[in-house]
Chains A and B, each alone.
Chain A
Amino acid sequence: MLMREWLDSDASLHKCGYPFGFLDDGAKKEVRRCLLKAIAIPGYQVPYGSREMPIARGWGTGGIQITLSLILPDDILKVIDQGCDGSVNAVNIKKFYQSVADVDITTDTTAATVIQTRHRIPEEPMTDEQILVLQVPYPEALREVEPSEMETRRMHAEADYGRMWLYLYEDIVACGEISISYRYPVTVNGRYIMDPSPIPRWDVPKLHMADTIFLFGAGREKRIYAIPPYTRVEPLEFDDHRFRVEDFDGKSCHRCGATDTFFDEIIDSADGGRKYCCSDSGYCDKRMAAWNR
């Protein structure tokens, strides 16, 4: 029987002996304990025993394990992949959740209680009732400048961040500005330098003093870290070279007409013309629906 047929059949996972949420209680407990530690030390990477999941490592298993260890039967989930509710990664993860946890799925940011996301933070402001879970490919912000894990841990412990700043200095000397477009390093609570996962610069200010709790899971690299609500999250910047978000001046979404969101650029294969549309598909659909009413 194909995996797909089996998942769709009555014998799907939780009906054939798997506990609610796929992970066993011991695994959930460990992830939750690591989450508590991560929240207690904002920005610190807590190592954890990443479990084998029925999805390949590097496809969001860190985020999936966090979500599975948190969700309850009455939760409402939203899963997005680069802002989009309908892309392959998001759809498959949603199907997996439905088969192992049977929770409701939504595309509406405001209706969801837990939002799992890859590389975007939704446009609509979130509340202190919601949890945002981010999938992280490379949790170590200092990896750009130091290949050794032992050394980066020492650098974090001693707050020895001169080399990370030097990386930005050299970037400015070479390019005239900081050329990091995503994975922009941030200082959390004035202490640890953290990788905010590959979100665009556009989303970085949303982490600062947010109402929502942000949980980061890297399944392949076996790390969990977190930003608790109302925590200072400052992108690395210089007095004379400030952090900037992407410039979408004069551009608007070709579907919903929004001018204040992060855009995907679409190049028309027929005539090579450029169009822009909201990267957050749920928000775009919502605006369209309101427009049509």
Chain B
Amino acid sequence: MEPMIQARELTKRFGMGCERCLESTGPDQETNRCWHCGTVLACNGVSFDLYPDEALGVVGESGSGKSTLVRLLHFEWEADGGSFVIHRNADLEQLPGLFAEASHYSCNLFGLNSFQKRQIRNALMGIVYQNPHLGLRMHVSAGGNVAERLLGGGWRNIAAMRQRAADLLHRTEIPVERMDEPPANFSGGMQQRVQIAKALSNNPLILFLDEVTTGLDLSVQARVLDLIRTLRSELKLSLLVVSHDLGVINLLCQRTMVMKYGRVVESGLTDQILQDPQHRYTQLLVASQL
């Protein structure tokens, strides 16, 4: 099977950079900050493939570059190097407007301008952040939050949008009679579910989950994870799951990458990594978790 997304050598650095950055950072040096020039290599040489309907986990401690990776792929930050390709398939060709053109696929998406990136993001991607304040407008109604992505995608019928928003909120277990209330009135778990509804509103191909269950209590965590699993099997989504929690990764992902100090130290099938970790850091992680 063809991979849907190919990411190669993704790099993000904060600082000027020098010729000794590469050798002086990374898991072996136990830092991601070059001591020659002070540059932080938040993400360096990260490559992966993501296949249709697959869930890829990214696991690592704080500061390992997991969230940086998501921000690069979601076009929130400019990458300093690397390529990001979404391969064409039948779904992509049905996209409206400007980006149905063949020339815009199977090219490095980092080379597009911000207008084109936004079009691609609106059409193909969804994201759920750890902090609902990043993904939601807290003082706009929950239905409006879902509708915002539809409006950005060119929907111009209020009744149809409200219907779609009600469907999505129903699926994510938000009482539909509360859809005109702002998420500021909701509990943390409900806000997270509204975020999921919003991320799914445009039928994305790829859903980024950035620490979605961190900060929720255990029973709510279980419900949110359950919901994501159900939606994934129903909607045929590809997931990129970022978490420091091996339990979440184990539950959701077939394949996993382990990151440390901005680099990938180990990648493979999730079962394999959990049962038979090769890298010293992964061994430590698994031992401390399970």
A residues adjacent to B (C-beta < 8 A): 154, 157-163, 165-166, 169-170, 172-173, 237-241
Taking a contact as CB atoms under 8 Å apart, the answer to whether A170 and B140 are in contact is yes
Distance of B42 from chain A, by nearest CB (Å): 23
Residues of chain A with a CB closer than 8 A to B157's CB: 238-240
Given contacts A165-B148, A166-B137, A170-B140, 18 further A-B contacts (CB under 8 A): A154-B114, A157-B114, A158-B118, A159-B118, A160-B152, A161-B152, A162-B151, A163-B148, A165-B151, A165-B152, A166-B144, A166-B148, A169-B158, A172-B158, A173-B143, A238-B156, A239-B156, A240-B158
Q: State which of A162, A165, A170 has its C-beta within 8 Å of the C-beta of B141.
A: A170
Considering only residues 59-73 of chain B, those with a C-beta below 8 Å from chain A are none
Distance in Å: Cβ of B73 to nearest Cβ of chain A: 18
Contacts of B180 in A (CB 8 A): 173
Q: Spell out B's residues near A (CB within 8 Å).
A: 114-115, 118, 137, 140-141, 143-144, 147-149, 151-152, 156-159, 161, 180
Q: Are A169 and B114 in contact (CB under 8 A)?
A: no
Residues of B within 8 A of A241 (CB): 158
Write the chain B residue with the least CB distance to A172. B158
A239 to B156 alpha-carbon distance, docked (Å): 6
Query: Which chain A residues lie closer than 8 Å to B156 at the CB level?
Result: 237-239
Give the complex CA separation of A162 and B122 in angstroms.
10
User: In the bound complex, how far is the Cα of B114 from the Cα of A171, in angstroms?
Assistant: 29
A166 touching B147 by the CB < 8 A rule?
yes
Report whether A157 and B115 are in contact in the complex, using a CB–CB cutoff of 8 Å.
yes
- Return 25 A-B CB contacts under 8 Å, by A number: A154-B114, A158-B114, A158-B118, A162-B148, A162-B149, A162-B151, A163-B148, A165-B148, A165-B151, A165-B152, A166-B144, A166-B147, A166-B148, A166-B151, A169-B147, A169-B161, A170-B141, A170-B144, A172-B158, A173-B143, A237-B156, A238-B157, A239-B156, A240-B157, A240-B158
Q: Give chain A nearest CB distance to B138 CB in angstroms.
A: 13
Determine the residue in chain A with the shortest Cβ distance to B143: A173
- A160:B118 contact, CB within 8 angstroms: yes
Chain A residues with CB under 8 Å of B159's CB are 240
Q: Which of B114, B141, B151 contacts A173 (CB 8 A)?
A: B141
Contacts of B114 in A (CB 8 A): 154, 157-158
Q: How long is the Cα–Cα vector from A174 to B17 in the complex, in angstroms?
A: 52
- Distance in angstroms between the alpha carbons of A170 and B158 in the assembled complex: 10
Output the residue of A169, A170, A240 with the most chain B CB within 10 A: A169
CB neighbours of B115 from chain A (8 A): 157-159
Please name the residue on chain A nearest to B122 by beta carbon. Answer: A162
* B116 → A minimal CB distance (Å): 9
Tell whether, in the assembled complex, residue A173 and residue B144 are in contact, meaning their CB atoms are under 8 Å apart.
yes
Q: A193 to B137: give the CA distance in the assembly, Å.
A: 22
B5 CB to nearest A CB, Å: 22
Query: Roughly how many angstroms separate A239 CA and B147 CA in the complex, as a whole number?
Result: 15
User: What residues of B have a CB within 8 angstroms of the CB of A237 in the complex?
Assistant: 156
User: Which of A154, A157, A162, A239: most chain B CB closer than 10 A?
Assistant: A162
A237–B157 Cα distance when bound, in Å, is 9
Contact between B144 and A162, CB atoms less than 8 A apart: no
A162–B114 Cα gap in the complex (Å)?
Answer: 16
A165 to B147, CA, bound (A): 9
**Which residues on B sit within 8 Å (CB–CB) of A163?**
148
On chain B, the residues within 8 Å of A169 by CB distance are 144, 147-148, 151, 158, 161
Q: How distant is the Cα of A202 from the Cα of B115 in the complex, in angstroms?
A: 34
Most-contacted residue by chain B among A161, A237, A239 (CB, 10 A):
A239
Using CB atoms, name the residue of chain A closest to B116.
Answer: A158
In the complex, which of the residues B118, B143, B148, B158 contacts A238, with contact meaning CB atoms closer than 8 Å? B158
CB distance from A9 to the nearest CB of B (A): 56
User: Which residue of chain B is the closest to A239 with respect to CB atoms?
Assistant: B157
A285 to chain B, nearest CB (A): 42
Contact B152 A162 (CB under 8 A): yes
Minimum C-beta distance from B198 to chain A (A): 12
Q: Which 7 A-B pairs have the closest CB atoms?
A: A162-B152, A165-B151, A239-B157, A166-B148, A158-B118, A158-B115, A162-B151
Whole-angstrom distance between the Cβ of B121 and the nearest chain A Cβ: 10
